[in-house]
Structure 1
């Protein structure tokens, strides 16, 4: 049930590359977070370069227009799961798309099962439907 929202620079990626980003993130989510098949919720938002500001936080690097800001909303995850997710996604995007080492930033926000309603105005985790 992780919800992944990708923020990308407009026109920096082809449709095929965006699909690779989404498919790769889904596969990594299944591996690192043990998400079941079909548990896929992804949003892509495009921004002009000046609208997607991702500075280096004092670490001394620059980013390209191929930068990706990924915001994840998910139930609590262990430190190990988070570290595994960050590393796997970085490594696989770097391998598949030659993503620059500094162009991926991930923010993970935890919530609880009761914070989700998948359909029909019901809290499926609370009602026991899920």
Structure 2
């Protein structure tokens, strides 16, 4: 936990590049959100370009086929943690993949301990198992 859900344009990335995206996000999650080692939950969904619509919200920029929409479900985080996550992930993806800053959009959806069951139909945060 957190759960990172990546939405990408189909055929815009190689398998190796997608792995770099996932590994970079995991690294940043450990560093900025305080997730413990091995706490890795990630999914990747692929869309035709016309099915992954990411406007500029009136900010006046363009996005490319390399656009990434990342949805994160997480326990509450501080404002500083969120800002650091956004910034550090962008830096890593730019450094490793030359990702344009306009091509990354991140949303964080906050939930609480009772919203997680990792196995066996139990709420491990509530039972004290975690």
TM-score for the superposition, normalised by structure 2: 0.99
What is the alpha-carbon distance in structure 2 between the residues aligned to residue 2 and residue 80 of structure 1? Answer: 17
| Counterparts of residues 1-130 of structure 1 (less than 5 Å) | 1-130=1-130
What is the alpha-carbon distance in structure 2 between the residues aligned to residue 89 and residue 126 of structure 1? Answer: 30
Q: Gaps (5+ residues) in structure 1?
A: none
Structure 1 position 78, deviation (Å): 0.3
Q: Gaps (5+ residues) in structure 2?
A: none
What is the alpha-carbon distance in structure 2 between the residues aligned to residue 75 and residue 3 of structure 1? Answer: 10
Residue aligned with 1:102, SS = helix
Q: How many residues in Structure 1 have an aligned counterpart in Structure 2?
A: 130
TM-score for the superposition, normalised by structure 1: 0.99
CA RMSD, 1 decimal: 0.4
Structure 1 position 34, deviation (Å): 1.0
Runs of 4+ in 1 over 6 A off after TM superposition: none
Structure 1 position 73, deviation (Å): 0.2
